[in-house]
């Protein structure tokens, strides 16, 4: 069942992406992009990454694509504007696309997939249950939230209860220092509070700058509208 | 200890995510009752049952509210409204409308982008329908229970605008284009205050799980988040206003302003595709009202401690009584929701429509700053209270004590260990296995608790 769902959504994600590339009509492209992004969100849900999936839906599908269509509606001169590519553009796009494709393929091939469960288990250290509900009911966002606030319960509280079993694993032992050196309660992990704040300040600056640039330039003597 | 679990999870054909996707309790019950089906069949059957139930909650309220809209509109305009179909009050008017709409020809303009034109009503309907998947209809009665339930529900509901914008664009009609553009501009702006006001109860409760948010409002109407502090009180009315706008309800129904845009984004639609837009609109009205009830108005609690006591104290057990108490709770929730929908209809037929620039001014110059201020106030409120009266709430028990005992973190210790045997991972869905035993904490709040724990 899980396999079937994965294949189903993966097919839609890949097919939608291909349709974006081969479609000529901008708004149709946006629609195919919605399919592709929505299927990707579904893949996130399948991986128990509820928060990421929901964010993908809210920001990309509900926000960005709507803005994209909105922009097309505001600016296009003909009813259904389409894109005609010159051969030079095709060549440029093809080169860039192929470069990224080779990068992705080489990355995918360089991972040892047969050991991935152990590696995932090793890097996650331990799963400290936070919050009220079991994980099967979607208790997956709390660790993200606390990490963004600067608290890493999964690292700081993990050592006491789960330290010994984690060390037994070859994959974890191979990783060496990073996992072993974090002694519980001696040194607290910092989480992502600083990057989070930097990004939000950055976005605020961008927002103010954009509104300043977009404001209509009027001379002071002109009558207020 | 952890990685074998993960390995098992990843390699297992039916891992936890699919279990939680379809409600593990129901799956287990089906497996016991019909062992012939196998796990895949049971999952499929459970999914079908959940979808059908949610579908009923999607369709039936729309059915009723379309009738109510006509009736209320009639009364407000000093008319009778529908009177003939199905008896004296015209109960079956919606059915008659539906039959009429099904018979109509399914037209698409020749100039339209046919694929998008045909597909966009479905986007709207699917978005409005999917939002109901994450809503608890009664204590524990939710198709997909998530800790980020509110966030997912709002995210899914926000996809509705996409269908409307696409419909407006693909119709190749100027009226539709204007309607779609207005809708896009309006929705993109109103998402901001909607998110900010919806976050206020989350700040109070400390969770986005709608079930937990409602559990914390038990014990009496003074525990509802509406009366938690002055900021939350204002936030409710702001939330309600913003949901009017996000549903394209008057006075914010610019996208389908009949007096200027013929029909707005749905000018070119006919028959069932046209009615899909309205089905989705009424379902979304119902959904946001339900959200307001869950977040601010105590969800399925009556607000009167005596009644709530009696409800929770119904003889426990997973059997009929526990079921009955939940059904009653659901009726309470639906009545509160119906009341809010009535207010929405009332407002629609009372207030004049705003102009588009007034709509944008209302949002960007008033609603967004006000909601930011309320958000700030709600964050500082417990700090102010703690430094003055040494309590985090004005009245009632501290919020931490209102968390249902069955879901407190102490229980987690017991649940994480049997994860290896898989019995723990599927055994505790609230949907079926939980029983109702009366447990009244000394704080005066009410909890339904799992009997077996």
How does pLDDT run across B145-170, given as a tens digit for each residue? 777 888 888 888 888 888 888 888 88
Residue B437 covered by a domain? yes
Helix (H, G, I), strand (E, B) or coil at A82: strand
pLDDT band at B416 (very low <50, low <70, confident <90, very high): very low
* Closest CB to A2 among B18, B415, B428: B18
Domains of chain A from N-terminus onward: 1-106+136-140 (1.20.120.1200), 144-211 (no CATH)
Distance of CA B311 to CAs B300, B436, B446, Å? 11, 10, 10
Listed range (A83-97, A128-142, B320-334) with the worst mean pLDDT: A128-142
Task: List residues bridging with B138 in a β-sheet.
Answer: B141
Residue range B114-137, pLDDT digits in tens: 888 888 899 888 888 888 888 888
- A117/B6 Cβ within 8 A: yes
Residue B172 covered by a domain? yes
Q: What percent of chain B has pLDDT over 70?
A: 79
Q: Is the confidence at residue A202, as pLDDT, over 90?
A: yes
pLDDT band at B318 (very low <50, low <70, confident <90, very high): low
Contacts across the A-B interface (CB distance below 8 Å): 187
**Taking Cα atoms as reference points, which of B263, B272, B269 lies closest to residue B101?**
B272
Residue B375 confidence (pLDDT): 92
**Taking Cα atoms as reference points, which of A152, A159, A144 lies closest to residue A188?**
A152
Beta-carbon neighbour count of residue A99 at 10 Å? Answer: 10
Across the range A182-187, mean pLDDT stands at 52
A71/A68 Cα distance (integer angstroms): 5
Q: Is the confidence at residue A214, as pLDDT, over 60?
A: yes
Q: What percent of chain B has pLDDT over 90?
A: 6
Q: Is the confidence at residue A180, as pLDDT, over 60?
A: no
Instruction: Give, in degrees to the nearest 5, the angle at Cα A212 between A210 and A218.
Output: 135
B143/B24 Cα distance (integer angstroms): 10
Write out the residue range of the structural domain in which residue B247 sits: 19-449
* Closest CB to A79 among B21, B162, B172: B172
* Residues 6 or more apart whose Cβ sits within 8 Å of residue B390: none
Phi, psi (rounded to 5 degrees) for A94: -60, -45
* Closest CB to B13 among A1, A117, A142: A1
B264/B171 Cα distance (integer angstroms): 11
Beta-carbon neighbour count of residue A105 at 10 Å? Answer: 10
A76/A225 Cα distance (integer angstroms): 27
Residue A217 confidence (pLDDT): 66
B409 neighbourhood in chain A, CB within 8 Å:
129-132
- Written in H, E and C, the secondary structure of chain B is CHHHHHHHHHHCCCCHHHHHHHCHHHHHHHHHHCHHHHHHHHHHHHHHHHHHHHHHHHHHHHHHHHHHHHHHHHHHCCCCCCCCCCCCCCCCHHHHHHHHHHHCCCCCCCCCCHHHHHHHHHHHHHHHHHHHHHCCCECCECCCCCCCHHHHHHHHHCCHHHHHHHHHHHCCCHHHHHHHHHHHHHHHHHHHHHHHHHHHHHHHHCCCCHHHHHHCCCCCHHHCHHHCCHHHHHHHHHHHHHHHHHCCCCCCCHHHCHHHHCCHHHCCCCHHHHHHHHHHHHHHHHHHHHHHHHHHCCCCCCCCHHHHHHHHCCCCCCCHHHHHHHHHHHHHHHHHHHHHHHHHHHHHCCCCCCCHHHHHHHHHHHHHHHHHHHHHHHHHHHHHHHHHHCCCCCCCCCHHHHCCHHHCCHHHHHHHHHHHHCHHHHCCCCCCCCCCEEEECCCCCEEEECCCC
Residue range B54-66, pLDDT digits in tens: 778 777 887 888 8
- A51/B16 Cβ within 8 A: no
B431 neighbourhood in chain A, CB within 8 Å:
none
> A178-216: string of b/e by CB count within 10 Å (b at 16+)?
ebeebeeeeeeeebbeeeeeeeeeeeeeeeeeeeeeeee
Q: How is residue A31 written in tokens?
A: 């629609």
* Residues 6 or more apart whose Cβ sits within 8 Å of residue B206: B399
Across the range B300-317, mean pLDDT stands at 73
Q: Is the dihedral of CA A71, A76, A81, A84 positive or negative?
A: negative
Task: List residues bridging with B438 in a β-sheet.
Answer: B448
Task: Give the CB-side neighbour count of residue A6, counting CA atoms within 13 A.
Answer: 12
A positions 101-140 inside 8 Å of B (CB): 116-118, 120-122, 124, 126-127, 129-140
* Residues 6 or more apart whose Cβ sits within 8 Å of residue B430: A137, B25, B139, B140, B145, B211, B450
Q: What percent of chain A has pLDDT over 90?
A: 12
B191 neighbourhood in chain A, CB within 8 Å:
62-63
Across the range A123-143, mean pLDDT stands at 55
Q: Is the dihedral of CA B417, B422, B427, B428 positive or negative?
A: positive
A116 neighbourhood in chain B, CB within 8 Å:
10
Across the range B346-371, mean pLDDT stands at 87
Residue B239 confidence (pLDDT): 92
**Taking Cα atoms as reference points, which of B296, B303, B153 lies closest to residue B220?**
B303
A153 contact B CB<8A:
no
User: Chain B closest CA to A197's CA: distance in Å?
Assistant: 17
Helix (H, G, I), strand (E, B) or coil at A129: coil
Residue B373 confidence (pLDDT): 92
DSSP category for residue A192: T
Residue B444 confidence (pLDDT): 44
Residue A176 confidence (pLDDT): 43
Q: Is the confidence at residue A100, as pLDDT, over 80?
A: yes
- A3/B16 Cβ within 8 A: no
* Closest CB to A139 among B39, B147, B166: B147
Residue B221 confidence (pLDDT): 79
Task: Return the top range by mean pLDDT from A115-129, A156-170, B20-34, B145-159.
Answer: B145-159
Q: Which residue did the predictor score with more confidence, B416 or A47?
A: A47
CA-only gyration radius of chain A, Å: 24
A165 neighbourhood in chain B, CB within 8 Å:
1-2
pLDDT band at B320 (very low <50, low <70, confident <90, very high): low
Residue B141 confidence (pLDDT): 77
pLDDT band at A172 (very low <50, low <70, confident <90, very high): very low
Task: Return the top range by mean pLDDT from A98-107, B154-163, B264-273.
Answer: A98-107
* Closest CB to A48 among B16, B208, B408: B16
Q: Is the confidence at residue A97, as pLDDT, over 70?
A: yes
Q: Which residue did the predictor score with more confidence, B346 or B7?
A: B346
Residue B12 covered by a domain? no
A129 neighbourhood in chain B, CB within 8 Å:
409, 412, 415-416
Residue B319 confidence (pLDDT): 61
Task: Return the top range by mean pLDDT from A120-124, A202-206, B209-213, B385-389.
Answer: A202-206
* Residues 6 or more apart whose Cβ sits within 8 Å of residue B31: B37, B39, B42
Residue B419 confidence (pLDDT): 34
Residue A179 confidence (pLDDT): 46
Q: Is the confidence at residue B284, as pLDDT, over 50?
A: yes
Residue A99 confidence (pLDDT): 94
For chain B, the distance separating the N- and C-terminal CA atoms, rounded to the nearest angstrom, is: 24
A132 neighbourhood in chain B, CB within 8 Å:
207, 209, 212, 403-404, 407-409
Phi, psi (rounded to 5 degrees) for A84: -110, 125
User: Chain B closest CA to A136's CA: distance in Å?
Assistant: 5
Residue range B1-34, pLDDT digits in tens: 233 333 333 333 333 333 333 345 667 777 777 7
**Taking Cα atoms as reference points, which of B127, B62, B123 lies closest to residue B283?**
B62
Q: Which residue did the predictor score with more confidence, A149 or B438?
A: A149
CA-only gyration radius of chain B, Å: 23
- A133/B180 Cβ within 8 A: no
ipTM of the complex: 0.72
pLDDT band at B403 (very low <50, low <70, confident <90, very high): low
Residue B5 covered by a domain? no
Mean of the per-residue pLDDT values of chain B = 75
Beta-carbon neighbour count of residue B306 at 10 Å? Answer: 9
A67 neighbourhood in chain B, CB within 8 Å:
184, 188
Residue B9 covered by a domain? no
* Closest CB to B162 among A1, A66, A130: A66
Helix (H, G, I), strand (E, B) or coil at A25: strand
A132/B405 Cα distance (integer angstroms): 9
pTM of the model as a whole:
0.77
Q: Is the confidence at residue B255, as pLDDT, over 80?
A: no
Total domain count, chain B: 1
Q: Which residue did the predictor score with more confidence, B238 or B46?
A: B238
Look at the block and give the residue holding tokens 């849900």. Answer: A45
Helix (H, G, I), strand (E, B) or coil at A85: coil
């Amino acid at each position: 069942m899980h396999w079937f769902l994965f294949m189903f959504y993966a097919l839609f994600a890949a097919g939608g992406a291909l349709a974006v590339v081969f479609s000529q009509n901008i708004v149709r492209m946006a629609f195919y992009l919605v399919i592709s992004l929505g299927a990707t969100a579904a893949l996130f849900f399948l991986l128990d990454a509820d928060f990421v999936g929901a964010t993908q839906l809210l920001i990309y599908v509900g926000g960005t694509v709507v803005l994209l269509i909105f922009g097309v509606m505001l600016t296009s001169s003909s009813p259904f504007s389409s894109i005609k590519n010159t051969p030079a553009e095709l060549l440029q796009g093809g080169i860039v696309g192929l470069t990224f494709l080779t990068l992705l393929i080489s990355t995918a091939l360089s991972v040892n997939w047969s050991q991935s469960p152990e590696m995932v288990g090793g890097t996650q250290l331990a799963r400290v249950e936070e919050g009220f509900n079991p994980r099967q009911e979607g208790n997956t966002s709390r660790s993200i939230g606390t990490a963004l606030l600067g608290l890493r319960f999964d690292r700081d509280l993990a050592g006491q209860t789960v330290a010994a079993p984690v060390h037994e694993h070859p994959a974890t032992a191979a990783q060496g220092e990073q996992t072993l050196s974090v002694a519980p309660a001696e040194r607290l992990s910092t989480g992502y509070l600083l990057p989070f704040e930097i990004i939000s300040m950055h976005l605020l600056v961008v927002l103010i700058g954009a509104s300043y640039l977009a404001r209509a330039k009027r001379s002071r003597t002109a009558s207020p509208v | 200890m952890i990685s074998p679990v993960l390995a098992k999870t990843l390699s297992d054909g039916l891992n936890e995510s699919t279990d939680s996707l379809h409600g593990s309790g129901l799956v287990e019950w089906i497996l016991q009752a019909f062992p012939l089906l196998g796990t895949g069949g049971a999952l499929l059957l459970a999914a079908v049952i959940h979808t059908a139930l949610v579908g009923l909650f999607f369709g039936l309220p729309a059915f009723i509210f379309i009738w109510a809209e006509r009736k209320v509109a009639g009364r407000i305009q000093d008319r009778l409204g529908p009177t003939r179909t199905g008896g004296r009050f015209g109960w079956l008017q919606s059915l008659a409308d539906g039959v009429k709409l099904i018979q109509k020809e399914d037209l698409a303009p020749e100039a339209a982008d046919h694929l998008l034109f045909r597909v966009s009503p479905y986007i709207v309907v699917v978005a409005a329908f999917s939002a109901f998947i994450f809503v608890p209809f009664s204590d524990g009665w939710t198709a997909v229970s998530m800790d980020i339930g509110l966030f997912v529900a709002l995210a899914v509901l926000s996809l509705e605008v996409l269908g409307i914008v696409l419909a407006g664009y693909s119709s190749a009609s100027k009226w539709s284009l204007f309607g779609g553009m207005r809708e896009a501009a309006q929705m993109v702006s109103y998402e901001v205050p909607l998110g900010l006001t919806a976050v206020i109860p989350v700040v109070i409760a400390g969770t986005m799980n709608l079930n937990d948010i409602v559990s914390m409002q038990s014990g009496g109407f003074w525990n509802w988040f509406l009366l938690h502090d002055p900021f939350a009180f204002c936030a409710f009315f702001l939330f309600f206003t913003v949901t009017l706008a996000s549903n394209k309800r008057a006075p914010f129904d610019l996208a389908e302003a009949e007096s200027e845009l013929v029909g707005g984004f749905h000018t070119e639609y006919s028959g069932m595709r046209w009615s899909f837009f309205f089905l989705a609109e009424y379902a979304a009205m119902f959904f946001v009202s339900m959200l307001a009830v869950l977040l601010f108005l105590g969800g399925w609690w009556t607000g009167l401690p005596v009644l709530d006591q009696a409800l929770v104290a119904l003889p426990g057990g997973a059997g009929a009584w526990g079921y009955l108490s939940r059904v009653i709770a659901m009726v309470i929730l639906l009545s509160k929701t119906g009341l809010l929908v009535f207010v929405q209809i009332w407002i629609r037929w009372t207030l004049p429509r705003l102009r588009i620039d007034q709509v944008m001014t209302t949002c960007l110059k008033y609603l967004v700053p006000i909601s930011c201020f309320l958000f700030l106030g709600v964050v500082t409120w417990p700090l102010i209270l703690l430094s003055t009266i040494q309590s985090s709430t004005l009245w009632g028990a501290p919020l931490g004590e209102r968390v249902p005992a069955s879901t407190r973190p102490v229980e987690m210790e017991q649940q994480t260990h049997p994860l290896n045997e898989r019995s723990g991972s599927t055994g505790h869905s609230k949907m079926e296995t939980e029983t109702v035993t009366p447990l009244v904490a000394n704080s005066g709040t009410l909890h339904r608790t799992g009997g077996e724990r």
